Chains A and B, each alone.
Chain A
Protein backbone atom coordinates (compact mmCIF):
# COMPACT_ATOMS: atom_id res chain seq x y z
CA UNK A 1 0.00 0.00 0.00
CA UNK A 2 3.08 2.25 -0.22
CA UNK A 3 2.39 3.58 3.27
CA UNK A 4 -0.59 5.74 2.34
CA UNK A 5 -3.13 6.73 4.95
CA UNK A 6 -6.15 8.98 4.68
CA UNK A 7 -7.97 10.80 7.42
CA UNK A 8 -10.70 10.93 8.34
CA UNK A 9 -12.02 7.68 6.88
CA UNK A 10 -15.63 8.78 7.25
CA UNK A 11 -17.12 12.22 7.65
CA UNK A 12 -20.60 13.68 7.74
CA UNK A 13 -20.87 17.42 7.40
CA UNK A 14 -23.42 20.08 6.56
CA UNK A 15 -23.70 22.16 3.43
CA UNK A 16 -21.63 25.30 3.61
CA UNK A 17 -19.05 24.07 6.09
CA UNK A 18 -15.35 23.76 5.22
CA UNK A 19 -13.86 20.29 5.15
CA UNK A 20 -10.24 19.19 4.93
CA UNK A 21 -9.14 15.71 4.03
CA UNK A 22 -5.60 14.57 4.65
CA UNK A 23 -3.43 12.17 2.72
CA UNK A 24 -0.21 11.04 4.34
CA UNK A 25 2.56 8.95 2.81
CA UNK A 26 5.66 7.59 4.46
CA UNK A 27 7.95 6.98 1.47
CA UNK A 28 8.66 10.48 0.12
CA UNK A 29 7.09 9.95 -3.28
CA UNK A 30 6.99 13.04 -5.42
CA UNK A 31 3.63 12.65 -7.15
CA UNK A 32 0.37 12.69 -5.23
CA UNK A 33 -3.20 12.76 -6.49
CA UNK A 34 -6.71 13.34 -5.22
CA UNK A 35 -9.59 11.57 -6.96
CA UNK A 36 -13.28 11.33 -6.30
CA UNK A 37 -15.27 8.21 -7.09
CA UNK A 38 -18.94 8.31 -7.93
CA UNK A 39 -21.20 5.60 -9.36
CA UNK A 40 -20.98 5.43 -13.14
CA UNK A 41 -17.99 7.78 -13.34
CA UNK A 42 -15.06 5.74 -12.20
CA UNK A 43 -12.36 7.90 -10.66
CA UNK A 44 -12.04 11.53 -11.63
CA UNK A 45 -8.97 13.58 -10.89
CA UNK A 46 -9.49 16.61 -8.67
CA UNK A 47 -5.97 17.95 -8.11
CA UNK A 48 -2.47 16.60 -8.20
CA UNK A 49 0.96 17.54 -6.91
CA UNK A 50 4.40 17.03 -8.39
CA UNK A 51 6.34 18.32 -5.40
CA UNK A 52 6.21 20.51 -2.33
CA UNK A 53 4.14 23.59 -3.14
CA UNK A 54 3.71 22.36 -6.75
CA UNK A 55 0.10 21.54 -7.50
CA UNK A 56 -2.22 21.67 -10.46
CA UNK A 57 -5.86 21.20 -11.31
CA UNK A 58 -7.47 18.06 -12.58
CA UNK A 59 -10.70 17.34 -14.39
CA UNK A 60 -13.10 18.27 -11.57
CA UNK A 61 -11.29 20.90 -9.50
CA UNK A 62 -14.10 23.44 -9.03
CA UNK A 63 -14.96 23.84 -5.35
CA UNK A 64 -11.72 22.18 -4.19
CA UNK A 65 -8.31 23.46 -3.21
CA UNK A 66 -5.16 21.62 -2.20
CA UNK A 67 -1.96 22.27 -0.36
CA UNK A 68 1.32 20.45 -0.04
CA UNK A 69 3.68 22.07 2.41
CA UNK A 70 5.55 18.84 3.17
CA UNK A 71 6.42 15.91 0.92
CA UNK A 72 4.45 13.49 3.04
CA UNK A 73 1.16 15.39 3.30
CA UNK A 74 -1.33 16.38 0.61
CA UNK A 75 -4.43 18.17 1.88
CA UNK A 76 -7.72 18.50 0.02
CA UNK A 77 -10.06 21.27 1.16
CA UNK A 78 -13.68 21.81 0.31
CA UNK A 79 -14.04 25.50 1.05
CA UNK A 80 -17.82 25.36 1.38
CA UNK A 81 -19.14 21.83 1.05
CA UNK A 82 -22.11 21.14 -1.21
CA UNK A 83 -24.27 18.04 -1.54
CA UNK A 84 -22.73 17.38 -4.96
CA UNK A 85 -19.42 16.81 -3.21
CA UNK A 86 -20.80 13.77 -1.41
CA UNK A 87 -18.45 11.10 -2.67
CA UNK A 88 -15.65 8.75 -1.85
CA UNK A 89 -12.28 10.47 -2.05
CA UNK A 90 -9.09 8.58 -2.83
CA UNK A 91 -5.54 9.73 -2.53
CA UNK A 92 -2.87 8.11 -4.66
CA UNK A 93 0.84 8.33 -5.15
CA UNK A 94 2.89 7.52 -8.22
CA UNK A 95 6.40 6.27 -8.02
CA UNK A 96 9.12 8.47 -9.48
CA UNK A 97 11.74 7.52 -12.03
CA UNK A 98 9.41 6.97 -14.92
CA UNK A 99 7.37 4.31 -13.19
CA UNK A 100 3.70 4.49 -13.99
CA UNK A 101 1.95 2.56 -11.27
CA UNK A 102 -0.31 4.38 -8.85
CA UNK A 103 -0.87 3.22 -5.29
CA UNK A 104 -4.08 4.19 -3.61
CA UNK A 105 -5.08 4.99 -0.06
CA UNK A 106 -8.11 3.37 1.57
CA UNK A 107 -10.46 6.25 0.79
CA UNK A 108 -12.58 8.75 2.71
CA UNK A 109 -16.36 8.58 2.58
CA UNK A 110 -17.79 12.08 2.75
CA UNK A 111 -21.48 12.80 3.16
CA UNK A 112 -22.63 16.39 2.82
CA UNK A 113 -26.14 16.93 4.17
Chain B
Protein backbone atom coordinates (compact mmCIF):
# COMPACT_ATOMS: atom_id res chain seq x y z
CA UNK B 1 0.00 0.00 0.00
CA UNK B 2 1.28 3.42 -0.83
CA UNK B 3 1.99 5.52 2.20
CA UNK B 4 2.84 8.94 0.83
CA UNK B 5 0.87 10.87 -1.74
CA UNK B 6 2.16 14.17 -3.01
CA UNK B 7 -0.05 16.98 -4.18
CA UNK B 8 -0.06 18.51 -6.73
CA UNK B 9 1.30 16.06 -9.27
CA UNK B 10 2.79 18.94 -11.25
CA UNK B 11 3.45 22.58 -10.46
CA UNK B 12 4.68 25.36 -12.71
CA UNK B 13 5.77 28.73 -11.29
CA UNK B 14 7.85 31.75 -12.20
CA UNK B 15 11.34 32.26 -10.85
CA UNK B 16 11.22 34.13 -7.57
CA UNK B 17 7.84 32.75 -6.54
CA UNK B 18 7.33 30.31 -3.70
CA UNK B 19 6.48 26.67 -4.36
CA UNK B 20 4.44 24.57 -1.97
CA UNK B 21 4.06 20.82 -2.22
CA UNK B 22 2.03 18.63 0.06
CA UNK B 23 2.35 15.04 1.19
CA UNK B 24 -0.29 12.93 2.87
CA UNK B 25 0.24 9.56 4.48
CA UNK B 26 -1.91 6.88 6.02
CA UNK B 27 -0.30 5.36 9.08
CA UNK B 28 1.77 6.51 12.05
CA UNK B 29 5.30 7.48 11.20
CA UNK B 30 8.65 7.84 12.88
CA UNK B 31 9.86 10.42 10.41
CA UNK B 32 9.12 11.96 7.04
CA UNK B 33 11.72 12.98 4.52
CA UNK B 34 11.75 15.00 1.33
CA UNK B 35 13.94 14.14 -1.62
CA UNK B 36 14.66 15.90 -4.91
CA UNK B 37 15.30 14.19 -8.22
CA UNK B 38 16.71 16.01 -11.18
CA UNK B 39 15.90 14.54 -14.58
CA UNK B 40 17.85 11.35 -15.23
CA UNK B 41 19.50 11.34 -11.81
CA UNK B 42 19.14 9.60 -8.49
CA UNK B 43 17.26 11.06 -5.54
CA UNK B 44 18.96 13.52 -3.23
CA UNK B 45 17.94 13.92 0.39
CA UNK B 46 16.70 17.40 1.29
CA UNK B 47 15.35 17.36 4.81
CA UNK B 48 14.03 15.05 7.52
CA UNK B 49 11.37 15.88 10.07
CA UNK B 50 10.60 13.60 12.98
CA UNK B 51 7.13 12.84 14.27
CA UNK B 52 7.65 15.01 17.38
CA UNK B 53 8.64 18.03 15.31
CA UNK B 54 6.27 20.49 13.68
CA UNK B 55 8.54 22.58 11.49
CA UNK B 56 12.09 22.52 10.15
CA UNK B 57 14.09 24.87 8.01
CA UNK B 58 17.06 24.34 5.75
CA UNK B 59 18.15 27.29 3.66
CA UNK B 60 15.22 28.14 1.38
CA UNK B 61 13.33 25.02 2.41
CA UNK B 62 10.66 24.91 5.07
CA UNK B 63 8.94 21.68 6.03
CA UNK B 64 5.94 21.35 8.26
CA UNK B 65 4.41 18.23 9.72
CA UNK B 66 0.88 17.81 11.06
CA UNK B 67 0.60 14.32 12.52
CA UNK B 68 -3.07 14.83 13.40
CA UNK B 69 -3.84 15.32 9.72
CA UNK B 70 -1.13 12.91 8.57
CA UNK B 71 0.26 15.50 6.21
CA UNK B 72 3.41 17.45 5.49
CA UNK B 73 4.25 20.38 3.28
CA UNK B 74 7.45 21.46 1.62
CA UNK B 75 7.85 25.15 0.87
CA UNK B 76 10.62 26.37 -1.40
CA UNK B 77 10.98 30.13 -1.14
CA UNK B 78 12.30 32.44 -3.84
CA UNK B 79 12.47 29.61 -6.36
CA UNK B 80 15.16 29.40 -9.00
CA UNK B 81 15.29 27.67 -12.37
CA UNK B 82 17.71 25.19 -10.77
CA UNK B 83 14.91 24.07 -8.44
CA UNK B 84 13.19 22.45 -11.42
CA UNK B 85 12.97 18.79 -10.44
CA UNK B 86 10.66 16.16 -9.03
CA UNK B 87 10.12 16.17 -5.29
CA UNK B 88 9.23 13.08 -3.29
CA UNK B 89 8.17 12.53 0.27
CA UNK B 90 9.16 9.32 2.02
CA UNK B 91 7.84 8.01 5.29
CA UNK B 92 9.21 5.52 7.76
CA UNK B 93 7.03 3.85 10.36
CA UNK B 94 7.56 3.44 14.07
CA UNK B 95 8.69 -0.18 14.00
CA UNK B 96 11.72 -0.09 11.75
CA UNK B 97 9.78 -0.50 8.59
CA UNK B 98 11.32 0.47 5.33
CA UNK B 99 10.80 3.77 3.60
CA UNK B 100 7.71 4.29 1.48
CA UNK B 101 7.85 6.91 -1.25
CA UNK B 102 5.03 8.86 -2.81
CA UNK B 103 4.64 9.35 -6.58
CA UNK B 104 6.20 12.81 -6.49
CA UNK B 105 5.50 16.37 -7.57
CA UNK B 106 7.10 17.70 -10.75
CA UNK B 107 8.12 21.28 -10.22
CA UNK B 108 8.96 23.53 -13.15
CA UNK B 109 10.43 26.94 -12.39
CA UNK B 110 10.26 29.19 -15.42
CA UNK B 111 12.89 31.92 -15.88
Given A104-B42, A104-B43, A106-B41, check contact A42 B101 (CB 8 Å). Answer: yes
Instruction: Give the shortest distance, in Å, between A13 (CB) and chain B (any CB).
Output: 20
B43 in complex: contacting residue of A40, A45, A90, CB < 8 Å: A90
Chain B positions within 8 Å of A107 at CB level: 40-42
B2 proximity list for chain A (CB < 8 A): 41-42
Per the bound structure, the CA–CA distance linking A92 and B98 in Å amounts to 12
How many chain B residues touch A (Cβ–Cβ < 8 Å)? 23
Are A100 and B43 interface neighbours, CB within 8 A?
Answer: no
Say whether A40 contacts B103, CB under 8 Å: yes
- Return the chain A residue nearest B31 by Cβ: A100
Interface membership of chain B positions 31-55, coded 1 if the CB is closer than 8 angstroms to chain A and 0 otherwise: 1010100001111110010000000
| Residues of chain A contacted by B98 (CB below 8 angstroms) | 33, 45, 48, 58
Contact in complex: A42, B102 (CB < 8 Å): yes
Additional 14 contacts, C-beta under 8 A, given A43-B90, A90-B43, A102-B90: A35-B101, A42-B2, A42-B4, A42-B102, A42-B104, A43-B43, A43-B101, A59-B100, A100-B31, A100-B92, A101-B33, A101-B45, A102-B45, A107-B40
Q: Can you spell out 10 A-B residue pairs with CB atoms less than 8 angstroms apart?
A: A4-B42, A40-B103, A41-B2, A41-B103, A42-B101, A44-B101, A90-B42, A92-B42, A100-B30, A101-B45
Distance in Å: Cβ of B64 to nearest Cβ of chain A: 18
A103–B43 Cα gap in the complex (Å)? Answer: 7
Residues from chain A with a CB closer than 8 A to the CB of B48 are 100-101
CA distance A40 to B86 in the complex (A): 12
* CA distance in complex: A100, B31 (Å): 8
The smallest beta-carbon distance between B80 and chain A, in angstroms, is 22
Q: Enumerate the 9 nearest inter-chain pairs by beta-carbon distance, A residue then B residue, closest first.
A: A104-B42, A42-B101, A43-B101, A42-B103, A104-B43, A101-B45, A106-B42, A42-B102, A45-B98
